[in-house]
Amino acid sequence: MEHSVPPLNDKSLLKEQTYVNGEWINAKSGKTFEVIDPASGKPIGNVPEMDRADTEAAIAAAAAALPSFRKTTGRERSRMLRKWYQLMIDNADDLAKLITWENGKPMADAKGEVTYAANFFEWFSEEAPRTYGQTIPASVAGNRVFTLKEPVGVVGLITPWNFPAAMITRKIGPALAAGCTVVAKSPGETPFTAAALAELAHRAGIPKGVVNFVTALKNTPEVGETITSSKIVKKVSFTGSTGVGKLLMKQSADTLKKLSFELGGNAPFIVFDDADLETAVAGAIASKFRSSGQTCVCANRIYVQSGIYDAFAEKVAEKVKGFKVGSGYGEGVTHGPLIHDRAVSKVEAHVQDAVKQGGKVLVGGQKLPDLGDNYFQPTVIRDMTADMALAREETFGPVAGLFKFDTEADVIKLANDTEVGLAGYFFSRDIQRCYRVAEALEVGMVGVNTGLISDPAAPFGGVKESGFGREGSSLGIEEYQITKMVTLGGMGQELQGASS
Ligand SMILES: NC(=O)c1ccc[n+]([C@@H]2O[C@H](COP(=O)([O-])OP(=O)(O)OC[C@H]3O[C@@H](n4cnc5c(N)ncnc54)[C@H](O)[C@@H]3O)[C@@H](O)[C@H]2O)c1
Ligand SMILES: O=CCCC(=O)O
């Protein structure tokens, strides 16, 4: 689909190089890769295809910057993050245009992402000066014990394309707040937003070498291997699929790195008969169709109790009929393209599998070739069953599959019958059920009577094969710190000059 990309107010935010050691550079090999606009299929521009040597240089820059950066006070780091936050807010319009261009999400969503992303810098600018150790009553007479919170060192960050800004700031914010220096591998699909963030870091006065970006598409596995096997990098934080997470964990084993992994989900979304129907429908729309279903916390399996099933299905389908699919820059567009044709193929396969096994499409169900290769109709399917592909795998696309259930015990069993456990949602007006079900779900995050749970103030992360570690909140910074214990012996003596 042809679409007109609005010009940036500040054209210098569009960089076709990458940022290492405070400078804009190319890959040593001179190689580049093309970044494609998912809406039009046309190239946006080229960025460096970096390799092992380039990545090692970025790691060396981060290592060189560490000794002085780790000695800055929390208050100084707070001011840097605050400046970077403000620059994001000041340039929100341009950042949103870049996000829409390379990710495809509509401008309104992209603007929302910029605010969400910037808020991680604001949040961690407030945490940076407040990282307290403890004083601990010792078990041994005469000993005095306390702990220090220290930065873990150079950290490697690897992020996906679905939130081109927020997945990066959610990691860099706490890393810098803790006093770590960073090598961030930006997503091959969306490196331009990352580069714009780097330019703003430069303007914010983040010292050279503290934040370094590595760009790669074809060389991504080589870059990942370099980061995970490096003896200099002390921690890796990764957001992406469970499969890649397992690979990175194996690669990190030889150097026993500290790890935080935010991996795939398969979120159950449960509507009990006693739910407020309108609230549950609004929650399902918000959770399932945010970013066209391409978030790790999107509802994947929507379980609806039999007494409310037909009414819920009808209302959800009605809402979805009102969506407008098109270019993210288009007037009134609610849903953009998916990221690439592989994503479309997975969505199509899940729909076809459901239909083959008896699912009934209430709305959507087809690709939209007239718009382009990456478009798929927002879809609602009823009469889903547990042996369908959508029940077992994360669709990561705009398909709401509605499953019917009878009892609370049945649905908890179904909801937990998966290897992963990131987010889970349910709707009920019974307070006892709210506690019971929240406690029974095997997930890291629960939304009760809401489909939107993301908040820099709240701990984000999963259980089971959705990974470990928490981002955002007061816990987020701890992922980038070590707790050093100090025991002072020979204390507890009598005051000098005291008469015995
Ligand atoms: N839990 C979370 O917070 C969270 C957030 C967003 C996405 N996700 C998950 O990510 C998946 C969707 O993203 P995807 O399909 O791009 O995932 P992916 O794992 O294929 O890729 C994610 C990122 O990892 C990098 N990568 C890929 N292979 C690599 C390798 N061998 N070495 C080093 N880096 C590598 C790439 O830069 C890529 O952008 C979904 O499963 C989704 O649930 C999870
Ligand atoms: O896709 C994963 C992150 C989504 C979010 O932070 O809300």
Q: Is 454 in the pocket of ligand 2 (CB under 6 A)?
A: yes
Phi/psi region, residue 292 (left: phi>0; alpha: psi -120 to 50; beta: rest), is left
Question: Is 455 contained in some domain?
Answer: no
For the chain, how many structural domains are there in total? 2
Outline where DSSP puts E strands in 104-249.
Answer: 135-136, 144-151, 154-158, 181-185, 211-214, 233-239
Is the predicted pLDDT of residue 252 greater than 70, yes or no? yes
pTM: 0.97
Q: What is the mean pLDDT of residues 320-335?
A: 97
Question: How many of the other CB atoms lie within 10 Å of CB of 353?
Answer: 16
Assess whether 150 and 295 both reside in one domain.
no
Question: Is 194 contained in some domain?
Answer: yes
Contact 34, 48 (CB under 8 A): no
Contact 303, 269 (CB under 8 A): yes
Tell me the best of 105, 244, 344 to mutate to test the pocket of ligand 1, counting ligand atoms within 8 Å of each CB and taking the most.
Answer: 244
Is the predicted pLDDT of residue 499 greater than 90, yes or no? no
Assess whether 393 and 410 both reside in one domain.
yes
Assess whether 324 and 431 both reside in one domain.
yes
For 88, the token pair is: 């994001």
Cα–Cα distances in Å, from 141 out to 96, 145, 487, 488? Answer: 60, 11, 12, 11
Question: How many of the other CB atoms lie within 10 Å of CB of 196?
Answer: 25
Q: What is the mean pLDDT of residues 462-478?
A: 98
- CA dist 181 and 67 (Å) reads 9
CATH number (domain holding residue 83): 3.40.605.10
CATH number (domain holding residue 279): 3.40.309.10
Assess whether 134 and 280 both reside in one domain.
no
Residues sharing a CB contact under 8 Å with residue 409, sequence separation 6 or more, in sequence order? none
Atom of ligand 2 at shortest distance to CA of 170? 6
Assess whether 382 and 243 both reside in one domain.
no
Q: Which of 113, 122, 262, 394 is catalytic?
A: 262
Residues sharing a CB contact under 8 Å with residue 281, sequence separation 6 or more, in sequence order? 312, 315, 316, 319
Question: Is 458 contained in some domain?
Answer: no
Assess whether 108 and 24 both reside in one domain.
yes
Residues sharing a CB contact under 8 Å with residue 243, sequence separation 6 or more, in sequence order? none
Q: What is the pLDDT of residues 5-32, one digit of tens each?
A: 999 999 999 999 999 999 999 999 999 9
Q: If you measure from the C-alpha of residue 54 to the centroid of ligand 2, how many angstroms do you get, rounded to a whole number?
A: 29
Q: If you measure from the C-alpha of residue 296 to the centroid of ligand 2, how many angstroms do you get, rounded to a whole number?
A: 6
Question: Is 255 contained in some domain?
Answer: yes
Question: Is 225 contained in some domain?
Answer: yes
Assess whether 311 and 253 both reside in one domain.
no
Q: What is the mean pLDDT of residues 64-76?
A: 98
For 247, the token pair is: 């690979």
Assess whether 321 and 470 both reside in one domain.
no
Q: What confidence score (pLDDT) does residue 500 get?
A: 61
Is the interface score ipTM higher than 0.90? yes
Assess whether 148 and 235 both reside in one domain.
yes
Question: Is 105 contained in some domain?
Answer: yes
Assess whether 163 and 242 both reside in one domain.
yes
Atom of ligand 1 at shortest distance to CA of 247? 31
Tokens 């390799």 identify what position? 51
Q: Residue 301's domain spans which residues?
A: 268-448
Q: What confidence score (pLDDT) does residue 2 get?
A: 73
Assess whether 258 and 301 both reside in one domain.
no
Question: Is 454 contained in some domain?
Answer: no
Assess whether 259 and 114 both reside in one domain.
yes
Is the predicted pLDDT of residue 445 greater than 70, yes or no? yes
Q: Is 296 in the pocket of ligand 2 (CB under 6 A)?
A: yes
